[in-house]
Amino acid sequence: MAYVDPGGASLKTENQKYFSKTPSSLKMWKMARELTPFGVHSNYRFTRPYPVYFRRGIGGKIVDIDRNEYIDFNMGFGALVSGHANPKLVHVLKERLENSSVLGFEDENSYTAAELINKRYGTDMVRFSTTGTEATMHAVRIARAFTGRQKILKFEGCYHGSNQDLLFSVKPNLDDAGLPARPSPVPAGPGIPEFMKKGIAISQFNDLDATTEIVEANQNDLAAVILEPYPMNMGVIVPKRDFISGLRDLCDEYGVTLIFDEVKTCGKFYGGAEEVLGVRPDLKVLGKSIGGGVAVSAIAGKKEIMENVGPGAISHAGTFNSNPLSMSAVVTSLRDVLTRQAVEKAQRLSDTMAEGYGDLLQLYEIPSTVPLAGLSGAISFNMSQPQNWREFLRGDIGRWNYYYLSMMNRGVIPAGPGADEQWTVSVMHTEEDIEKTIEVFKEVVPRISLRYPLLGVEESV
């Protein structure tokens, strides 16, 4: 059942549908881009032909300004594992707002929030911040201070927020990226000072041999190895177990701080990636889902490292850190909403959706894989499951763009906007949401096997 005709005509039809379905968004975008670059306040939100503007979300659904309803599997780029407007959170946060959202001193709930984080994620001490970007920035500085060294090793294709220290080789073009075993640091766009390259070393995810050589070559300078344990800024990459345990051994051998960036993964498994991988990092960075939709992040880890943060020692501060709104949100999300039972139920729904996708892709003989990680998964139009950024790039992005656009036109946002994103199933999605999604995919899949013009991956974030 292989289809070979070119997909330009199908793509055109879907584009026309998109325009006729979202006229208010088009109007809004034309106005917004006069005041805001590209009409969006985060580069990741810009989509072609233009971004849709939204009004409200409830449970697993989201409504745009033309009143179109979508089943949402972007879920705030993974921030909303609790679901949109989760009633338990709405109740607590309304009450909290009536009693002030910034006290300017420590909030009484910050103790309970810290206790919940440490217990769930296996850490000794924690400091709260507001965004993932800030938290990776602090984590890297803490590691530099603790080890007295400067250099950080990160992996090609991993994203750690708009943190300048780590804005290298996020989505590098292969022309600039160097040899696979010895990648060059590629700044993620202009404005990142040349001298910062000296502070960074790059390796390929899932390649322990190459990473070992790079760590050995930098052993006197290396402060930290930072990674997304399941990279989720190149679809979904499943880590090899011996790669992760090998990194732990390497860091132990050379006195390097191992940092897991769990900004996304902390919500994809009940206890984060550490729980499934069985490897304990020295520091971890949490964000997104822990706040149930309120901006909050955390730097957490071993006491011997974290106890060095403080006045006159390692810097960490922020007006909005541990504000009452975010602390109430953390306590309610972790204690009452993201229970093990609820997370396991969401994972079953995610598995069912993956199975539905996989069966149809196989039926139509479309070269693809569906890598999974807890509540997330991604359709990857690759011959085999990608292991790193360079393999991810071999996927058919044109096909992915067609899949995304045509699902959206039929009322499903199947993932974050971009082949480098993935779906997130929340604790408020239902079996009907999954059934409807697969029904929609049935309509779309026959045309996915066509060849589509490539719009390309945005190179800078």
Residues that bind ligand PLP (CB under 6 A): 77, 131-133, 136, 159-161, 228, 233, 261, 263-264, 287
Q: For residues 260 and 381, which CB has a smaller minimum distance to ligand PLP in the complex?
A: 260
d(C-alpha 72, C-alpha 83), whole Å:
10
**Backbone φ, ψ for residue 239 (5° rounding):** -75, 145
Least distance (Å) between residue 126 CB and ligand PLP? 16
Task: State the alpha helices, DSSP H only, in 336-424.
Answer: 340-363, 389-393, 397-409
Cα–Cα distance between 158 and 385 in angstroms, integer?
Answer: 17
Residue in 85, 56, 63, 77 with CA at minimum distance from that of residue 427: 85
Quote the longest CA-to-CA distance of the chain: 68
User: Scanning the structure block, which residue is given the tokens 């793509």?
Assistant: 11
Interatomic CA distance for residues 385 and 455, integer angstroms? 22
Q: Which two tokens stand for residue 65?
A: 């300004």
Structure tokens at 102: 């910034």
Integer Cα distance of 348 and 63 in angstroms:
25
Q: At closest approach, how far in Å is the CB of 333 from ligand PLP?
A: 15
Q: Which is nearer to ligand PLP, 284 or 399 (CB)?
A: 284
- Residue in the shown chain whose Cβ atom is closest to ligand PLP: 132
Considering the complex, state which of residue 295 and residue 306 has its C-beta at the smaller distance from ligand PLP.
295
- We find the least distance from the C-beta atom of residue 231 to ligand PLP, in angstroms, to be 8
94 DSSP β-pair partners: none
Degrees to nearest 5, angle at CA 71 with 418 and 93:
100
Q: Round to whole Å and give the CA distance between 421 and 156.
A: 15
Q: Would you say 228 or 391 has its CB closer to ligand PLP?
A: 228
Nearer to ligand PLP, 204 or 233 (CB): 233
Q: Closest approach of Cβ 227 to ligand PLP, in Å?
A: 9
Shortest gap between Cβ of 271 and ligand PLP (angstroms)?
Answer: 17
Report how far apart the first and last C-alpha atoms of the chain are (Å, whole number): 39
Residue with tokens 């990226």: 177
CB of 5 to ligand PLP, least distance (A): 37
Shortest Cβ 44–ligand PLP spacing (Å)? 7
Tokens of 132: 């993932």
* Nearest-angstrom CA–CA distance, 461 and 449: 29
Quick one: 162 or 449, whose CB is closer to ligand PLP? Answer: 162
Whichever of 350 and 406 has its CB closer to ligand PLP, that residue is: 350
Please give the single-letter amino acid code of residue 435. Answer: E
Tell me the closest approach of the beta carbon of residue 21 to ligand PLP, in angstroms.
27
Give the nearest distance from C-beta 163 to ligand PLP in angstroms. Answer: 8
Min dist CB 166 to ligand PLP, Å, is 9
Cα–Cα distance, 266 to 285 (Å, whole number)? 9
**Shorter beta-carbon distance to ligand PLP: residue 391 or 421:** 421
Nearer to ligand PLP (CB atom), residue 316 or residue 399? 316
Q: Which is it for strands 69-72 and 61-64: parallel, antiparallel or unpaired?
A: antiparallel
Q: How far is the CB of 67 from ligand PLP (least distance, A)?
A: 28
Rank residues 57 and 132 by Cβ distance to ligand PLP and give the closer one. 132
User: Which residue, 151 or 264, has its beta carbon nearer to ligand PLP?
Assistant: 264
Q: Is the dihedral of CA 48, 289, 162, 35 positive or negative?
A: positive
- Listed in sequence order, the residues at least 6 apart from 249 whose beta carbon sits closer than 8 Å to its beta carbon are none
- Report in angstroms how near the CB of residue 452 gets to ligand PLP at its nearest: 26
Across-strand partners of 54? 64
Residue 412 φ then ψ, to 5° = -135, 125
- The residue type of 205 is F
Q: Between residues 134 and 433, which has the closer beta carbon with respect to ligand PLP?
A: 134
Q: Beta 372-373 vs 376-377: how paired, if at all?
A: antiparallel
